[in-house]
Amino acid sequence: MTNSIQIFADIGGSLTAELIAQQLASSDRSRPLDVAINSEGGSVADAIAIYNLLRAWPAGVEVSIIGWALSAATIIAMAGRVIRIHEASLMMVHAPMVAASGNARDLRQSASVLEQVAATMRTAYGRTGQKPEAIDSWLSGDDHWFTAQEALAAGLVDEIIAADALAAAPINVFACRHAVPPIIKERIQAMTTATQTPEEIRAAAVRAEGERRTGIRASFAHFMASDGVAELLRVCEDDPSVTVQAAGQRLLAHIARGASPVAGRYVPPMDVLPTGDSRISDFKAAAVDALLIRSGIRIAKPHPQAADLRRMSVVGMAERVLSMHGRSSASMSRDEVIRAALSTSDFPLLLGNLASTALRTGYLQAPATHAGWTGEREVPDFRPRTLAMLSASPSLLKVPEGAEYKYGSFSESAESFKVETFGRLVSFTRQALVNDDLDALTSTPSTLGAAARRLEADMVYAKLVSNPAMSDGKALFHADHGNLASSGAALSVDSLGLARAAMRKQKGLAGEFIDPQPRYLIVPVALETKAEQLLNSTVDPSKSNNTENLEWVRRLVLVADPRLDAASETAWYLAAEPRQVEGIVRAYLEGEARPFLDQQEGWSRDTMEYKGRLDIGVGVVDYRGLYRNPGA
């Protein structure tokens, strides 16, 4: 029996990494995981997070593409130990994209982020066994479409599921958000026509009708409190000829009745609304998304009203907030509008949500090579902490007939560290708000979030390369710990085999075998290309014949980080899955957001001040989960 999850929606929209993590938390980790994919893609950040979650599944993941896996969905597919695709299914790979605007520096920053994302995608696609140049061509900017046979030839999948197993072609290639090449449309249409039975055609029609109704309900969701919207929704749902787009147009026409012109276009009239009214909440959420999009930060699923606000300045948003509070701004200067809006509860909250979202986005999008191979815990306070390293459970003893059972006990050792606070202050000046300075409003918190992520990585890798002393008085990597190579050796199948054997021979504190399994290969970037060649090759690179590369070597997860190069460009490491043996642990303050943002209004300098902080500590728990080879 296996566990199963489905990737059947917009990634980063209704299907997020957090939702998948929750599903995995309730699954049996001792059993394999089946992942079914039928998605047009979505947020690359969420896709990479889901990919990492699936790659860490201890019992292995098997992926089935049962409709299509496009764009970001292909990244998730690469987490499979085995990837299967239905005969009439599609895949599409392309470069990461972002909607960017602003000055030259803004565009360069957006391009830099895209390059970092592309580097992560290259690692995922490395599973195909393709040469780096081929993968780079997939990420060159064009859409690269693959039928099932083409995906198999490219190494994107391992097997093709025959049509009689399950007819699972995309329902309507003409409804895809991506531009499907005509030749692909013709192939898929021909395949589905040839293979679908009457029952399958009926099932597809039912599925399409369900998707139509779901899409219409999603479009109407934020406007149900308005008069007549519920009745309009019923009419649109009950008429099969009304598409999602047509229903949206009817909704807009309904809402626009009685509207008045503002700044050259029509918007619904705003009454005085009490704080907490859903319309105020909707406006603030839409305004935050609109400002983030204008500044070049990608939002996977923007608020439906965000498009209406993208051309509205910060001052215009302040005027809208004042209108909601029953205050006219007709005779106010831009500076007075900002001052008046800051005196309400909603405008400072809008700015706080904007800064918090930008901070969190910067944190999540920053490179995080350290996250996969380190453990993670929460602690209640800042006092020094001792993390116990327990032996395995006591061995079972033979119990003679009628005899008493004997008690077993755990041995333990302990390593200490503590959580400390790191942070910086940023502020939004009144002048920045009046001038509609989006760089100050969004880019500054975003870079602060990225700095928090970098701090985590700095602390983790500093701990790894410093080889600190353990509670037994010996260094983390020491011959007596059995986790240090006796002499340096270059990366090869043979040297990896010796390292694996050393790890698996590790014993617990009571002398029992605990058998740590190497999961991550950690290298400086100077060795990254060589490591990719070794892990992605189907044959042993060190042999002159076609000796097959070992499956366990190909299953290693490659981690490369430039911080390691500063210490050594030849040393490499193996790390066990943290759920089996925790080597290095990141600890955070319990209940705090990561990173956390606090705000207050500046009194002496006309500013809104924001304090970004990260409460974190890094410690070594168990040397048996790590292995070091000085390299050669």
**pLDDT score for 381:** 75
Give the chain's length: 632
Helix axes 314-324, 346-365, angle to 10 degrees: 140
pLDDT > 90: percent of the chain: 25
**pLDDT score for 298:** 78
Got the DSSP string for 444-480? HHHHHHHHHHHHHHHHHHHHHHH--B-TTSSBSS-GG
Please pick, among 43, 71, 313, 329, the residue that the annotation labels catalytic: 71
Q: Which two tokens stand for residue 2?
A: 């296996």
The 10 Å Cβ neighbour count of residue 580 is 14
- Cα(414)–Cα(471) distance, rounded to whole angstroms? 7
- Cα(118)–Cα(114) distance, rounded to whole angstroms? 6
**pLDDT score for 501:** 96
Span 517-527, mean pLDDT?
96
Please pick, among 86, 94, 222, 303, the residue that the annotation labels catalytic: 94
CB 105 within 8 A of CB 159: no
Helix axes 278-294, 314-324, angle to 10 degrees: 180
- Residue 544 falls in the annotated catalytic set: no
**pLDDT score for 169:** 44
CB 77 within 8 A of CB 121: no
CB 328 within 8 A of CB 245: no
Q: Which two tokens stand for residue 566?
A: 């500063």
Span 61-86, mean pLDDT?
92
Where do the structural domains in the chain lie, given as residue ranges? 3-196, 479-567+622-629
470-502 pLDDT, tens digit each: 888 899 999 999 999 999 999 999 999 999 999
- Cα(92)–Cα(63) distance, rounded to whole angstroms? 16
Write the class of the CATH domain 3-196. alpha beta
CB 106 within 8 A of CB 442: no
- Cα(245)–Cα(268) distance, rounded to whole angstroms? 21
- Cα(429)–Cα(448) distance, rounded to whole angstroms? 17
- Cα(607)–Cα(450) distance, rounded to whole angstroms? 23
Of residues 562 and 310, the one with the higher pLDDT is 562
Classified as helix, coil or strand, 197 is: coil
**pLDDT score for 74:** 94
Taking CB atoms within 8 Å and a gap of at least 24, the contacts of 271-280 are 272/324, 272/325, 272/326, 273/324, 273/325, 275/345, 275/346, 278/225, 279/225, 279/324, 280/324, 280/346
- Cα(302)–Cα(291) distance, rounded to whole angstroms? 11
Q: Quick one: CA torsion of 525, 526, 529, 531, rounded to 10 degrees?
A: -80
- Cα(251)–Cα(222) distance, rounded to whole angstroms? 11
Span 527-537, mean pLDDT?
92
- Cα(518)–Cα(520) distance, rounded to whole angstroms? 6
**pLDDT score for 481:** 94
Q: Which of 164-178, 205-219, 582-596 has the highest mean pLDDT?
A: 582-596
296-348 pLDDT, tens digit each: 787 778 888 888 888 888 888 989 888 888 788 878 888 888 888 888 888 88
- Cα(623)–Cα(575) distance, rounded to whole angstroms? 10
Which of the four pLDDT bands, split at 50, 70 and 90, describes residue 61? very high
**pLDDT score for 532:** 92
Contacts of residue 306, Cβ cutoff 8 Å, sequence gap at least 6 = 286, 287, 289, 290, 293, 299
CB 584 within 8 A of CB 616: no
User: Cα 429 to the chain's mean position, in Å?
Assistant: 32
**pLDDT score for 485:** 95
**Which spans in 155-256 are helix H?**
182-195, 198-220, 229-238, 244-256
Which residue reads 């997860």 in tokens?
557
Which residue reads 């043996």 in tokens?
581
pLDDT > 70: percent of the chain: 78
User: Cα 446 to the chain's mean position, in Å?
Assistant: 16
**pLDDT score for 457:** 94
Q: Which two tokens stand for residue 631?
A: 């390299």
Q: For the chain, what is the mean pLDDT?
A: 80
CB 319 within 8 A of CB 436: no
Span 514-540, mean pLDDT?
91
- Residue 94 falls in the annotated catalytic set: yes
- Cα(317)–Cα(582) distance, rounded to whole angstroms? 49
Q: Which two tokens stand for residue 192?
A: 């589905």
Listed range (95-109, 157-171, 399-413, 612-626) with the worst mean pLDDT = 399-413
218-273 pLDDT, tens digit each: 778 777 777 788 888 888 888 777 777 778 778 877 776 654 444 444 444 444 44
**pLDDT score for 251:** 81
